[in-house]
Structure 1
Amino acid sequence: MKTDFKFSNLLGTVYRKGNLVYRSDGTSLLSPVGNRITVFDLINNKSHTLPYAHRTNVSRIALHPNGQLLLSVDEQGHAILSHFHRRIVLYHFSLKSAVTALVFSPCGLYFAVAIGRKIEVWKTPSTPGISESNNDGSEGGGLEFAPFARHRQYTGHHDTVQSIEWSSDSRFFLSASKDLTARIWSLNPEEGFTPTTLAGHRTAVYAAWFSADQETIYTISKDGALFQWQFLPHPDADPDSIAEADERWRINDRHYFYQSQEHAHLTTAAYHPQTNLLVTGFSHGLFMIHELPSFSEIHKLSISASHVDTISVSPEGSWLAFGSSALGQLLVWEWQSESYILKQQGHFDNLNALTYSPSGDRIITTSDDGRVKVWDTASGFCIVTFTEHTSGVTACEFARRGNVLFTASLDGSIRAFDLIRYRCFRTFTAPKRLSFSSIAVDPAGEVVAAGSLDDFDIHIWSVQTGQLLDQLAGHEGPVSSLAFAPNGGNLVSGSWDRTVRIWSIFARTQTSEPLQLQADVLCVTVRPDSKQIAISTLDGQVTFWSLNEGTQETGLEGRRDVSGGRKTTDRRTAANVAGTKSFNTVTYSADGSVVLAGGNSKFICLYAVETGVLLKKFTVSVNLSLEGTQDFLNSRLLSEGGPRGLIDEQGEASDLEDRMDKSLPGSKRGDAAQRKIAPEVRVPAVSFSPTGRAFCAASTEGLLVYSLDATVQFDPFDLSVDVTPTTTLTTLKNAEYLKALAMAFRLNSARLITRVYRSVPVTDIGLVVRDLPDVYLDRLLRHVAKEADTSPLLELNLLWMESLLRIHGRALKERQGEFAQVVRLVQRAVARVQGEIMKVAEENSRTVAFLLAQPRRVGGGGVKLLALSGNGNGVGGGAEEDESMGDGERDGEGWVGLD
């Protein structure tokens, strides 16, 4: 089995903090998710996360006007310049301090950053595609020894700069600051220009913008005051004798927003000069749209229960993007049609469990917030959210037959959800109130079992009736984990009493065979062939037992592998931290050859079952904003009062609302007396996809998806000198289809394989498949499954599948472990095709039923259906037919239904 899994996507988190940025064409939206950046394709309804990561949470991002360069800065001022399309990092650079504003100039040659009270303008690093001449006459586009070169530094503000806005010609820019002023700066010294201060606001100025013609400046402050500035003389001056020196930027008009609540204040604003739209967001979740300069209100809508953190307007001005960090919400709203383009919200509490759907195209996650979310693996979006549970959801499990999902919750209920109609159709409860922590579903979907940490019994219900069938007693401690064997014969349970019991619940006598362990059992899982179970215990051991014989086959030591990550409060090294030396979750791969394990640390370990060798270790996160990601003590973070992470610096903030501690006692995790607690990195659940080509992990930052890198352009296989694309096409032209297909597989070029695959005549498919060497069987099955998902050639793909399964079906059955992954890929493709065909058939059957239900005309000439061409709906549409009938046909006839 291949083990070169790589990070592919981040689900479960759509917005964390920072600003949102549109691409120049307005088709995609960039959103910071922790220390990574996710790109949402608003046209194709897909999303992907860029592969690189910052060391802390991203605070500001900016996209170059040509759309090639992406600049992102984290909370500590470390910047990464990357190529947006190729998704590769070009340069790393440190700006030495936190950044509050970041924007490229319209010409693309400079970018401006706000660092505290200062503003710095830097030259854009030279890259292919940026060859314009600079304003100083020098040429860009060549190679530079130092890619980041500072052009100028601007000082004058007395407090933090919150916004920077360039003029359309890139000669001037505006800055807004908390010192109640906005300032006009020039990029280079201009003749007759002096830096100008725009003062008059009573609270911090949030933003300032130029109008489209650059004749007007708009400034907006925290209290909702909008000032309009124009270059005018003094109002009392004589119009006939106005000198040029008397003209200056003056307030021409003032506007104030309607504030329905006393404590509501402006938190963000955005202005689109081409359409003169001003969009503002407030602390109570309300946003407003005004048209300037008339300040006429267009829309006012509440989109969130918490404050709106950032607003971004698409380049054409039709789509508005809103981000709220308190609940992790991301919204894209089209204000003209008043409809949502994108509406996503991640979990705003810790993830507890996850599972793949049997087809592998859905991932279900549960969280402490009581929500169950269904994610689409192809698009990366949340399809549906179930909110029936009233407390944290601790476990979830899919029935192998049917689209039924079962969840266990701390509210004392087990619920069954129908994923076709998206509804909860069954609720299971115990005779007494329990907080369920584990769940298992019979492969046939007939019974569901659940365990609790409050009770030592295992409860079993009937799915059909919802009745409690039995309570299995035998454990002397809380039940921590449950798992049904895939063949449906046994139920395996693990408990804190250091035993694992195997129950035969469908036998006449429900006996259990205990397996004695050396420590508390944390997780049990059964291999897909139902012959082996893996048990994870509190001492860091993972042991493998024979399910039929009840004997231990092998084991491995995982204490050193999983241990890692030092917290701020720890007084020991990362290798000696308590509580991180065991695996809380273990899962088998599709073929059962490897296991994946994770726990309360930043590592996910991949082991070989037979040898117990650590094949690969995945690092979940390197984000220093989380606890448990550092391996060594950083002396720079220590002070005389202790670690800086534990010192409350909130009281030193300049604004009153920032100094106030609004947190409730006991609402934080851990010690209630501790002032500041950062979330800890942990992996509560991992799961392999049914195809074995990917696995997902629930972590503190969200749902991480790792997959095999299948996008390699050229990866030759058993290549020789005479095998080239040219010779392959020549062989194909000579009608040597099998040889051409083998040569294409050797070159491993996806485009070439597809061309040969589609060029084989239908009559020769069976002959090619019959003589196909076994070494290419896996590759051809995988390619056919991929074509069935992407290409419109339905009949051709089905003919290939039919020939492969008919001719090589015996080999696929005898070598199940080798072909398990690719067979599941084919099954998923067939199921998708079947669903589409059934959908079309149902629509056609309804159309035929509608036609048959239309009234008919009974007369001497027989039965004639009412024509559908009259008015398009089949009612009264027979005007032309009536004119062609004779008088004899109209006598003694009437309308009757076909029934």
Structure 2
Amino acid sequence: GHADWVRSVRWTQDGGQVLSGSDDGAARVWDEYMKIFDAKTGKLVANLKGHEGTVICLAWTADGTTLISGSNNHSIRMWNTTTWQQINVLTGHTNTVYDITISPNGRILASASFDGTARLWDLENGQPISSPLQHAGNVIVWCASFSTDGRLLATGCYDKNAYIWDIPIILREAGHTKVIQGVIHLPGGQRIMTCSDDGSLQIWNLKSGERIGSDWRDGASEVYVVALSPDGKQVVSGSADDAVRLWDIDTGKVVTKWTGHAGHVRSVRWTQDGGRVLSASFGGTAMVWDVERGETILVIKTWLNLESAIYSPDETMIATGGFNSEKEYIKIFDEKTGKLVTNLKGHTWTVYCLAWTVDGTTLISGSFDESIRTWNTTTWQQINVLTAHTNCVYGIAISPNGRILASASWDRTARLWNLENGKPISSPLQHSNWVRCASFSTDGKLLTTGCDDNNAYTWDIPTILREAGLDDLLLNPNVSLPFLISLPTEDAHPRTVTSPYSRYAIGLYIYLVDSKLMYPRQMLHNDRVSGAGATILIPIDYPQVFSTTQLIILPYVICISSYFFLTSVFSAL
């Protein structure tokens, strides 16, 4: 039946049919007896047309509903096995697709190509997952195979080598019946919580992808946002019924409901001590609540239709984002008095999301104008504009170490950004619909996104960074502070870097032990702190975040004299 070489054959799962692919550009489905050369039938079942070149490889999904084919016309095509109509065309390769394989869980397709790459595809929506797996020298990739647990992909190449790759996407949670608006990681690193327009909060096991327990519900109103208390025992949510609810993590029940807003509650935030909650409403008010007493401490009339409100790290200011008829989009208020501090100008449309860097020096905003902007919080001047999204930027999140920004957009992607240079990290993380929210795990190794396809997706950050050659972004940043530093030099004379700060003292040793900060007893030094011949005095006036423990140096004086600490933390100085 074929008019050229037959290069590939596959059985259907039930053994009732055989599919063949040929250099004639056709994929044909045959009765099983033709496959086993029974001369009695040889009956042609279907002739699939769509490829414009040789069909090199074939794969059938486990449920038998979809057939997938790869061709030398660079495309991968998906076919409905009931109607035999083409469902989708996956494009991205720039040369022959020589092999395809499906992950054990049936969610991911891997393709191997003459273009020197292997690619991963989400079989639910046909979108690429992460950037292409680039092989050195663009060597031809002949084949690909998943490990039995689906966590690794092996590829075989023309250079006579095999390569092993981590798979970036771990799982996809499904269970909500409407759009997922918010997602947070829960204590322990094994669970996430999602909130949705279906009026529910749901908890998920990250390893199995299974929902834990039943829905959390209190009424039928859409739940727009959720935030975890610092002690991990409670969550607070904001809803379309204008209410703020406090939930108990252990019971999944509402502890109390706060009312007072005159519009949908679009944003909620905790203070660091867990004593207060900040909520923001589309009706234009930002309200601060005393958690224990359930009373309103502060009401700020922002004259914005609010979408977001956050505390500065030192909790002295509140940043708000939204829009009004005066084309005002970001306003900063004093946390104690509620008075306006400044109005930031730069965005041209609604600001949906805000984030403050841990050191408090930079505010970040995402907008309907498709841009992400960074602002200096001393001068309130715009620092940078991050452009790559092609639709509204609806959610942003900063990694725990402060070096990576994640953005969620209506362009159906999430993106990772290097905050040190403002550049994108790797290709966008593709989704099948609008992406509304993003949340990092506490160790920064997982990113979870919420999508308008009613699913939440979890992505492996180390794998994405490794592919981009930016593994170091998982580490905590080196310190760059105006310290007074004395270090030994080759001529035995100390080299001193001076500081404009004047108040110094010597007092407390700090040691880094197994990534935990240890505070031994206070010691008064009788002589120069030597160790390895290094002394560093940190000014009282300069609070900052540093080291692999994200220590916040409070306004008291610290002396550091541990050599191994210096070499690891201050290597860039």
- TM-score (structure 1 length as normaliser): 0.36
Look up the SS of the partner of 1:219 in the other structure: coil
Residue in structure 1 matching 2:89, options 285, 297, 309: 309
Structure 1 pair 445–320 and aligned structure 2 pair: CA distance change class (3 A): same
Summarize deviations over 1:823-881 as a string: whole Å, max 9, x none.
Answer: 4399xxxxxxxxxxxxxxxxxxxxxxxxxxxxxxxxxxxxxxxxxxxxxxxxxxxxxxx
Supply the distance in 2 between the matched residues of 1:401 and 1:810 (Cα, whole angstroms): 36
Greater per-residue strand proportion: 2
1:550 aligns with 2:260: no
Look up the SS of the partner of 2:545 in the other structure: helix
Residues 499-538 of structure 1 aligned to structure 2 (within 5 Å): 499-507=285-293, 510-538=295-323
Q: How many angstroms does 1:423 deviate by? A: 4.1
Residue in structure 2 matching 1:586, options 354, 358, 369: 354
Residues 350-429 of structure 1 aligned to structure 2 (within 5 Å): 381-399=168-186, 403-419=190-206, 422-427=209-214, 429=216
Summarize deviations over 1:546-600 as a string: whole Å, max 9, x none.
Answer: 334433333312xxx323xxxxxxxxxxxxxxxxx12111111121211111111
Amino acid at match of 2:329: Q
Contact 1:697–1:703 under 8 Å retained in 2: yes
Look up the SS of the partner of 1:258 in the other structure: strand
Match of 2:413 in 1: 702
Contact 2:229–2:235 under 8 Å retained in 1: yes
Amino acid at match of 1:555: N
Contact 1:554–1:610 under 8 Å retained in 2: no
Residues 77-96 of structure 1 aligned to structure 2 (within 5 Å): none
Structure 1 pair 407–803 and aligned structure 2 pair: CA distance change class (3 A): closer
Match of 1:442 in 2: 229
Match of 2:122 in 1: 345
1:265 aligns with 2:48: yes
Look up the SS of the partner of 2:24 in the other structure: strand
Contact 2:191–2:206 under 8 Å retained in 1: yes
Structure 1 pair 708–592 and aligned structure 2 pair: CA distance change class (3 A): closer
1:286 aligns with 2:67: yes
Residue in structure 2 matching 1:598, options 353, 366, 374: 366
Residue in structure 2 matching 1:332, options 92, 110, 115: 110
Q: How many angstroms does 1:285 deviate by? A: 1.7
Supply the distance in 1 between the matched residues of 2:126 and 2:29 (Cα, whole angstroms): 33
Supply the distance in 2 between the matched residues of 1:772 and 1:801 (Cα, whole angstroms): 30
Q: How many angstroms does 1:531 deviate by? A: 2.9
Structure 1 pair 811–583 and aligned structure 2 pair: CA distance change class (3 A): farther
Supply the distance in 1 between the matched residues of 2:6 and 2:215 (Cα, whole angstroms): 61
Contact 1:533–1:546 under 8 Å retained in 2: yes
1:219 aligns with 2:4: no
Supply the distance in 1 between the matched residues of 2:59 and 2:191 (Cα, whole angstroms): 43
Match of 2:400 in 1: 690
Contact 2:515–2:548 under 8 Å retained in 1: no
Tell me how many residue pairs correspond in the alignment.
379
Q: How many angstroms does 1:416 deviate by? A: 2.5
Structure 1 pair 317–412 and aligned structure 2 pair: CA distance change class (3 A): closer
Structure 1 pair 417–546 and aligned structure 2 pair: CA distance change class (3 A): farther
Supply the distance in 2 between the matched residues of 1:609 and 1:446 (Cα, whole angstroms): 32
Supply the distance in 2 between the matched residues of 1:825 and 1:342 (Cα, whole angstroms): 40
Q: How many angstroms does 1:458 deviate by? A: 1.4
Structure 1 pair 430–284 and aligned structure 2 pair: CA distance change class (3 A): closer
Q: How many angstroms does 1:421 deviate by? A: 6.1
1:541 aligns with 2:329: yes
Supply the distance in 2 between the matched residues of 1:590 and 1:280 (Cα, whole angstroms): 48
Q: How many angstroms does 1:487 deviate by? A: 2.5
Match of 1:320 in 2: 100
Residue in structure 2 matching 1:824, options 521, 539, 550: 550
Contact 1:268–1:281 under 8 Å retained in 2: no
Structure 1: stretches of 5+ with no match in the other structure = 1-199, 212-216, 226-254, 290-299, 335-340, 351-377, 564-580, 622-628, 630-680, 711-749, 752-765, 777-796, 827-899
Supply the distance in 2 between the matched residues of 1:556 and 1:399 (Cα, whole angstroms): 33
Structure 1 pair 605–709 and aligned structure 2 pair: CA distance change class (3 A): closer
Q: How many angstroms does 1:342 deviate by? A: 8.3
Structure 2: stretches of 5+ with no match in the other structure = 8-21, 31-41, 71-79, 113-117, 128-164, 422-470, 473-486, 499-510, 521-530, 553-573
Q: How many angstroms does 1:707 deviate by? A: 1.0
Supply the distance in 1 between the matched residues of 2:543 and 2:275 (Cα, whole angstroms): 21
Structure 1 pair 531–398 and aligned structure 2 pair: CA distance change class (3 A): farther
Contact 1:604–1:620 under 8 Å retained in 2: no
Amino acid at match of 1:286: L
Supply the distance in 1 between the matched residues of 2:186 and 2:366 (Cα, whole angstroms): 24
Supply the distance in 1 between the matched residues of 2:413 and 2:311 (Cα, whole angstroms): 26
Contact 2:182–2:196 under 8 Å retained in 1: yes
Contact 1:268–1:311 under 8 Å retained in 2: no
Q: How many angstroms does 1:432 deviate by? A: 2.2
Contact 1:520–1:537 under 8 Å retained in 2: yes
Supply the distance in 2 between the matched residues of 1:344 and 1:696 (Cα, whole angstroms): 21
Greater per-residue helix proportion: 1
Match of 2:75 in 1: none
- TM-score (structure 2 length as normaliser): 0.54
Q: Aligned-residue CA RMSD in angstroms?
A: 5.3
Summarize deviations over 1:786-841 as a string: whole Å, max 9, x none.
Answer: xxxxxxxxxxx977978998799997896884334754399xxxxxxxxxxxxxxx
Contact 2:488–2:495 under 8 Å retained in 1: no
Contact 2:57–2:99 under 8 Å retained in 1: no
Look up the SS of the partner of 2:550 in the other structure: helix
Structure 1 pair 801–405 and aligned structure 2 pair: CA distance change class (3 A): closer
Q: How many angstroms does 1:503 deviate by? A: 0.3
Residues 631-650 of structure 1 aligned to structure 2 (within 5 Å): none
Summarize deviations over 1:5-59 as a string: whole Å, max 9, x none.
Answer: xxxxxxxxxxxxxxxxxxxxxxxxxxxxxxxxxxxxxxxxxxxxxxxxxxxxxxx
Contact 1:500–1:514 under 8 Å retained in 2: yes
Amino acid at match of 2:318: I
Structure 1 pair 257–489 and aligned structure 2 pair: CA distance change class (3 A): farther
